[in-house]
Amino acid sequence: MNKVIKHTFVICAYMQSPYLEESIKSILDQGSIKEGISEVVLYTSTPNDYIENICHKYNIKIFIGEGGGIGADWNGALAAVQTKYATIVHQDDLYDKKYGEMIINDFESQKDSNIVFTDYYEIDEYSKPRKRNINLKIKSLGLKLMSFWENKKYQRRVYSFGNFICCPAVSYNMERLKDFRFNEEMKMAVDWDAWERIMKKSGHVHYLPLKLMAHRIHSDSETTNNTLNKNREKEEHEMFRRYWGETMAKLLMKVYTNNQKGNS
């Protein structure tokens, strides 16, 4: 008897990333893939022979969208999902083989969770772990504080001090978020804006305090590019203003911009 596929890893691929194949391998090594309760597909708005050849090699179905920015691509990626749960995989990142299994179990144990997310660590261009700097330690502390309170009012209070959630470490309950869409006007704080709006919905956000994915930091990443051209600083300032007045927002930005140095 075939098992019901509950979860989709949808890889968001762009142009010709040299890390794409390694990312795909980490997904195919998932216990939930081998058990038949997760599947993998790929979404791209920049179809090319490189992506098509890799997908053909690993028998991965491709969905092609029009693109238009990060928000548009992430919306397109989620639109390709037919299962109850989904994870948007960034083409440069790697996942622990237990990620899918742990995420699905957590969703199943708490039916009203809108998103479930894990802790993470950083790797470099050579897939070597980067030193866990003060910024990552602060983010882990923020996540632990958020998970300490079930009341979303207090979770949002903690979240008002910064975006502690790593977007590729997040999985979505597609049945509960069927009307949700990422903001396609933003270039950098797309995820921060998304989690802030999801926190306002009925239901829960839940944190698994396990480092189950590796986020790659490298010179060609979208995070690095938007840090260099100040998009990140502009949009993060806008996010702080949602919670605080202008004076407090400026003060928090002076501290928060130190985080950008980690992507240099």
Q: Which amino acid is located at 146 in the chain?
A: M
pLDDT by residue (tens digit) across 41-79?
999 999 999 999 999 999 999 999 998 899 999 999 999
CA distance 26 to 245: 43
DSSP 43-62: EESS--HHHHHHHHHHT-EE
In total, the chain counts a number of residues equal to: 264
- The domains of the chain are located at 7-131+165-219
**Residues forming beta bridges with residue 9, ordered by sequence position:** 40, 87
Please list, in sequence order, all residues whose beta carbon lies within 8 angstroms of the beta carbon of residue 221, skipping any fewer than 6 positions away: 92, 263
pLDDT by residue (tens digit) across 22-39?
999 999 999 999 999 999
Work out the average pLDDT over 81-95: 98
CA distance 195 to 139: 15
Looking at residue 228, what is its pLDDT? 47
Exposed e or buried b for every residue in 75-91, given b needs 16+ CB within 10 A? bbbbebbebbbbbbbbb
CA count, 13 A, side-chain hemisphere, 157: 9
CATH of 7-131+165-219, one of 3.90.550.10, 3.30.750.200, 3.40.50.300, 2.60.120.260: 3.90.550.10
pLDDT by residue (tens digit) across 116-174?
999 999 999 999 999 887 778 888 888 888 777 666 677 777 878 888 899 999 999 99
CA count, 13 A, side-chain hemisphere, 258: 11
